[in-house]
Amino acid sequence: MGYIPPLENRIVVTQENFLATLGNGVDSTKEYFLDGKINTGATVIEVPATGINIAGYNFDTSGLYSLEDNYTMFVSEVGGSGNFIGKDYEISVVGVNSKVYDLVDVSGFNAFEFARINYINCTSLGEIDGYRQGLESGTGRYGGSPSLTLTGAWMGGYVLTTINGFSMSDVTTEPIFKAGLAFVMQGRFRTNMNVNLGALQPFVDFAPVNFPNPSTLQLNQMQVARGGVVDPSDTNITPNISYSDVSCQWNQNKGIRNTFVGAKSVITTEIETVIATAGVPVPILGTQSASDLQHFDNPANGQLRLIGNNPVEFTVSWDFVLEGRENNDYRIDLCIDRGGVKEIAHSQIRVINNLQGGRDVAYFTGSTHEELFKDDFTYWEVTNLSDTRNCTLELDSDWIIDHR
């Protein structure tokens, strides 16, 4: 077998040479390879503006750990740090008031990306400030109170896939992911984490203000337990934000609530609708009570408005009882207002039945599909096609919008 030259762009880090390599100024053009479990002691690793790249054999064989109190393992150099890329090792920082990261992006355009990294019994993961994006794949949080604080303005997002969190502290009140000072994420925060929380531990303490764009806090296919118990009614899992907030898109989860974009409106007070001219539509009157508003609001009586931006395809179903003049033909129209321009999404015509006891009604039931875009609102109008006899939409008549 011929001579194989050493890899020129890899620096092998051992316990013996740690202070002379990672502990003595990082060369951003090199990959630092962890040959074993290395005690960093009280030595801080400074991440330069040009970034750092660390790799190992795997998280069982390679790692960095410290037992020191009041210690931070990774900090930014003066002015900020660049890309932080890591794979195939473990980190354990267990000292009192100690943490793994205290990083500020030098430009707001860098990435914080990890694959197959485990955090073991960490006191805190620390703080990441103003990075463009984060990415984790195959990472784990085991033991301790591994809270990661996201701070400042993030131009992109943070995606965490196939990650676990188990054996958490039962005394910590720090969330797995925490909103720091002025935290705003323009992109999406998405995860499918499988986590068993400590007794007092939230998963996230994010609030709607942290996600200004609709549907960007995406908790999908998660499994969340606390002390091994799955309880979607546990309000301390996400104490400051709800599945129904416009920031949220939570789907196919076990242990937390899911987002079902849509709304419902029910007639709670009957009011006669005046028909001034035969064949001319008018809004249906009657007090309508809106409920289960998820990414919808109720800007005016009888109106349901989409305030999110995903999805745009909806199913509308209705169950109306309309009282009017016997043998008159009435038409109801499902209307969409797009910036002041009315569109008719669906129409239905029924004749008023002459029923026993003087109660003359028609039954309007059905479903249809419509497309709604942000700030479109939808409502109902009625037309007497026969003459000018008034009508009344009866109590408990309702309609529902649901995403397709």
Question: Which amino acid, one-letter code, is at 176?
Answer: I
pLDDT above 70 covers what percent of the chain? Answer: 98
Q: How sure is the predictor about 41, in pLDDT bands with cuts at 50, 70 and 90?
A: very high
Dihedral of the CA atoms 194, 199, 202, 203 (nearest 10)?
Answer: -10
| Spatial separation of the C-alpha atoms in residues 25 and 39, rounded to whole Å | 17
How is domain 262-403 classified at the CATH fold level? Jelly Rolls (2.60.120)
Q: What digits encode the pLDDT tens for the residues 383-393?
A: 999 999 999 99
Q: How sure is the predictor about 8, in pLDDT bands with cuts at 50, 70 and 90?
A: confident
Where is 167: in which H helix or E strand? none
Model-level pTM greater than 0.85?
yes
Which residues touch 207 (CB under 8 Å, ≥6 apart)?
A: 179, 240, 241
Q: What digits encode the pLDDT tens for the residues 370-379?
A: 999 999 999 9
Q: What digits encode the pLDDT tens for the residues 205-260?
A: 999 999 999 999 999 999 999 999 999 999 999 999 999 999 999 999 999 999 99
Q: What is the mean pLDDT of the chain?
A: 96
Per-residue model confidence (pLDDT) at position 354: 79
In the chain, what are the domain boundaries?
A: 10-226, 262-403
Give the pairing of strands 361-371 and 398-403: unpaired
Per-residue model confidence (pLDDT) at position 4: 62
Q: What digits encode the pLDDT tens for the residues 153-174?
A: 999 999 999 999 999 999 999 9
Query: Helix, strand, coil proportions of the chain in percent (round to 5)?
Result: 0, 50, 50
How many Å is the Cα radius of gyration of the chain?
29
Per-residue model confidence (pLDDT) at position 356: 61
Phi/psi for 361 (5° steps) reads -140, 165
